[in-house]
Structure 1
Amino acid sequence: MAATVITVAQQKGGAGKTTLAAHLAVAFTAMKKSVAVVDIDPQQSLTAWYRLREERLGDAGAGVLASQIKGWRTKNEVDRLARDHDIVLIDSPPHMETEAKIAVRAAGLVVVPVQPSPMDVWATRPTLELAAAEKVPALIVLNRVPPRGNLAETMIAEVGRLGAQVARSRIGNRVVFAAALSEGRAVGEVQPRSKAAKEIAALAREILKAAG
């Protein structure tokens, strides 16, 4: 099996990287894909969510497989998981250049969540430069986008000037994303007809198309 390997990366903390990774993992399973998530972030938030998910839903109900490892083992672990899964999703750490580089190098596509604020937009360049240096295509995802605001629209325009592809799908700033994770679930499971669930589903489809 030739798995699609996707790394969610953002060297600035607080961009919603792990939240996005968890929701995408479940969205991919809803598309009948077998999914493994690899958590190399020392905070282990994705692993904690997965353990809660297992506890609430059981092994069979969890739908994804999670692996928490050290960054230097990423390549071997991804290769192992790629033999049995359609998608391997890597949650990479912020502020750790070596581990982030390993995670990017292992991927076929890097998904870069960016909040529409000046600090977030400015801080995204190192992540894009890392992906470019490793010759891995990057897809910028506008995350936690407020419903309205002149500043947000200005920053969205700035994102378009960063030199990487920007996803058409945007993820709004919605409480339900965190609320779903607190139950070991994803938004598509707790509010399947909501706008939030539709945003994640659209992004999941767009990411798979971008990943080839």
Structure 2
Amino acid sequence: MAGHVITVAQQKGGSGKTTVSANLATGFLRQGKRVALVDIDPQGSLGRWFMTRIETETGPVENLEFATSSAWGITYEVRKLSDNHDIVIIDTPPKADSDLRPALRVADLVVVPVSVSHVDLWATEGVLDLARREGKEALVVLNRARKNTRLGSEVAEAAEKLMARIAETTLANRVIYAEALGQGRGAAEGRKTPAQAEVDALTSEVAQVLANG
């Protein structure tokens, strides 16, 4: 049975796509899954994270594979990787146009990170529209959330009006996410922290959506 494919997409740069991709990858590793990462973003941030992980040996790499692909080569790459992995995660460039469609087409679930700002939320509509046209379920993940702030409440309220599924788990605005990324690891790896609980909860929520799909 082929593994599940998750495409992480957002039209606006700086929304946390690579952070979410890397942390979902390590979250699934913590569940004992075999994970493959595919980076189709020319910036290559996910690839740099993976190479840092190998160089510093900060976490397991035996069940983690990495590949790069063009947008139009993604179908072949995913077909190859999903045969040998439980989860394939695709990190995409910050745009919502025809180049993104092949990555949406191969997905079992589209994860859309939204950094807590109205601008990010507005940018989300284009990605959600493309996902709907491809008949794919999308899960909006509020990222860099600040609890008990008016902006956070406003964005969460506005997100509910997108007619999309909103993840119950939010990723808070914590320094550990950026620190861990720079060290080639996930925020859930290492000692027990609030970030570890968030990543594990989001991973379990994504796994549940995939299982019910």
With normalisation by structure 2, the TM-score equals 0.95
Rate the CA distance shift 1:190–1:62 in 2: closer, same or farther, 3 A.
farther
Report the Cα offset of residue 190 of structure 1. Answer: 3.3
Q: In the superposition, relative to structure 1, how do residues 156 and 59 fare at CA in structure 2: closer, same or farther (>3 Å)?
A: closer
How big is the alpha-carbon RMSD for the aligned residues of Structure 1 and Structure 2? 1.5
Is there any run of 5+ residues in structure 2 with no aligned partner, and where?
Answer: none
One-letter code of the match for 1:203?
Answer: L
* Corresponding residue of 1:65: 65
Mapping for residues 106-145 of structure 1, pairs under 5 Å: 106-145=106-145
Deviations 1:127-177 (A, max 9, x none): 000000000000011111013211210110000000001010010011101
Q: What is aligned with 1:29?
A: 29
Gaps of 5+ in 1: none
SS in structure 2 of the partner of residue 200 of structure 1: helix
Q: Which amino acid aligns with 1:84?
A: N
The TM-score, its normalising length taken from structure 1, stands at 0.95
Q: Is the 8 A contact 2:145 2:152 kept in 1?
A: yes
Distance (Å, rounded) in 1 between the aligned partners of 2:168 and 2:60: 33
Once the two structures are TM-superposed, the CA of residue 119 in structure 1 deviates from its matched residue by 0.7
Partners in 2 of 1:203 and 1:9 — Cα distance?
16
Q: Which residues of 2 match residues 6-85 of structure 1 at below 5 A?
A: 6-57=6-57, 61=61, 63-85=63-85
| Percent identity (aligned) | 42
Matched residue type, 1:138: A
1:194 aligns with 2:193: yes
Further displaced range: 52-61 or 103-112: 52-61
Q: Write the distance in 2 (CA, Å) between the matches of 1:115 and 1:28.
A: 22
Q: How many pairs align?
A: 211
SS for the counterpart of 1:112 is strand
Letter in 2 for 1:136: K
What residue number does 1:156 align with? 156
Cα deviation, residue 98, structure 1: 2.6
CA drift of 1:206 comes to 0.3
Q: Which residue of 2 aligns with 1:205?
A: 204
Q: Distance in 1 between matches of 2:41 and 2:80?
A: 19
CA distance change for structure 1 residues 178 and 63 in 2, over 3 Å: closer, same or farther? farther
1:180 Cα shift?
A: 0.7
1:111 is displaced (CA, Å) by: 0.4
- Measured after TM superposition, the shift of residue 95 of structure 1 is 2.0
Partner secondary structure for residue 162 of structure 2: coil
Inter-CA distance 149–59: structure 2 relative to 1 (3 Å threshold):
closer
Which aligned segments of 4 or more residues in structure 1 are displaced greater than 6 angstroms? none
